[in-house]
Structure 1
Amino acid sequence: MSIIEAIIFGIVQGITEFLPISSTAHIIITQMVFNYSFPGFGFEIFLHLASILAVVIYFRKDIVEVIIGFFSFFGNRSKENRVQFLFALYIIVATGITGVLGVLLEDSIGSVLKTPPFIALALATTGIFLIIIERFVKHGNRTEKDMTFIDAIIVGLGQTLAVIPGISRSGATLITGLFAGLNKETAVRYSFLLSIPVILGSTVLAIGDFTDGTLVAETGVLALVVAFIATFIFSWLGIVWLIEFLKRSKLIYFAIYCFVAAIFIFFYFDANFIMELE
Structure 2
Amino acid sequence: MTDFITLLKYAFLGLVQGVTEPIPVSSSAHVIIVQKLFGLEIEGLSFEVLVNFASLLAILLIYKNDLIQLIKHGFLYVTGRDEQYKKDFHFILYLVIATIPAGLIGFLFNDWIGETLKGLVTIAIALFLTGIALWLIRNLRGRKNEAGLRLKDAIIIGLAQTVALIPGVSRSGATIVAGMGLGLKQSTALKFSFFLYIPISIGGMILEGSNLLHDPDLGTLALPYALAFVISLVASYFSMKWFMGIMERGQLKYFSWYCFLLSAFILLFML
- Per the normalisation by structure 1, the TM-score is 0.91
User: Which residue among 17, 22, 25 is the counterpart of 1:21?
Assistant: 25
Kept in 1: contact 2:77–2:83 (CA 8 A): no
1:7 matched to 2:11: yes
User: Which residue among 164, 167, 175 is the counterpart of 1:165?
Assistant: 167
2:104 aligns to what? 100
2:185 aligns to what? 183
Aligned partners of 1:102, 1:110: CA distance in 2, in Å?
A: 10
Q: 5+ unaligned residues in a row in structure 2: which ranges? A: none
Kept in 1: contact 2:101–2:162 (CA 8 A): yes
Aligned partners of 2:218, 2:135: CA distance in 1, in Å?
A: 42
User: 1:223: Cα distance to partner?
Assistant: 1.5
In structure 2, do the counterparts of structure 1 residues 251 and 32 end up closer, same or farther at CA, with 3 Å as the change threshold?
A: same
Q: What is the aligned residue count?
A: 267
User: 1:108: Cα distance to partner?
Assistant: 5.5
2:238 aligns to what? 237
User: Which residue among 129, 138, 143 is the counterpart of 1:141?
Assistant: 143
Give secondary structure in 1 for the equivalent of 2:40.
coil
User: 1:19: Cα distance to partner?
Assistant: 0.5
Kept in 2: contact 1:12–1:27 (CA 8 A): yes
Residue identity in the other structure for 2:61: I
Aligned partners of 2:229, 2:17: CA distance in 1, in Å?
A: 10
In structure 2, do the counterparts of structure 1 residues 207 and 106 end up closer, same or farther at CA, with 3 Å as the change threshold?
A: closer
2:248 aligns to what? 247
User: 1:37: Cα distance to partner?
Assistant: 1.4
Aligned partners of 1:59, 1:215: CA distance in 2, in Å?
A: 35
Kept in 2: contact 1:38–1:44 (CA 8 A): no
Kept in 1: contact 2:44–2:114 (CA 8 A): no
Q: 5+ unaligned residues in a row in structure 1: which ranges? A: 271-278
Aligned partners of 1:118, 1:74: CA distance in 2, in Å?
A: 45
Kept in 1: contact 2:246–2:252 (CA 8 A): no
2:120 aligns to what? 116
Give secondary structure in 1 for the equivalent of 2:143.
coil
1:228 aligns to what? 229
Residue identity in the other structure for 2:172: S
1:151 aligns to what? 153
Aligned partners of 1:210, 1:107: CA distance in 2, in Å?
A: 14
Deviation digits for residues 229-249 of structure 1 (CA, Å, limit 9, x no counterpart):
100110001110000111114
Deviation digits for residues 176-206 of structure 1 (CA, Å, limit 9, x no counterpart):
0111111000000111111111111011331
Deviation digits for residues 236-266 of structure 1 (CA, Å, limit 9, x no counterpart):
0111000011111421110000000000011
Aligned partners of 1:63, 1:112: CA distance in 2, in Å?
A: 36
Aligned partners of 1:99, 1:202: CA distance in 2, in Å?
A: 9
User: 1:88: Cα distance to partner?
Assistant: 0.5
Shifted more, 223-232 versus 180-189: the winner is: 223-232
1:64 matched to 2:65: no
1:276 aligns to what? none
2:129 aligns to what? 125
Kept in 1: contact 2:127–2:262 (CA 8 A): yes
In structure 2, do the counterparts of structure 1 residues 187 and 215 end up closer, same or farther at CA, with 3 Å as the change threshold?
A: farther
Percent of residue pairs identical: 36
Kept in 2: contact 1:70–1:81 (CA 8 A): yes
Aligned partners of 2:116, 2:136: CA distance in 1, in Å?
A: 27
Residue identity in the other structure for 1:170: S
Deviation digits for residues 71-93 of structure 1 (CA, Å, limit 9, x no counterpart):
11122222331111110011111
Residue identity in the other structure for 1:152: A
Deviation digits for residues 41-70 of structure 1 (CA, Å, limit 9, x no counterpart):
211111011100001111000110111111
User: 1:210: Cα distance to partner?
Assistant: 3.0
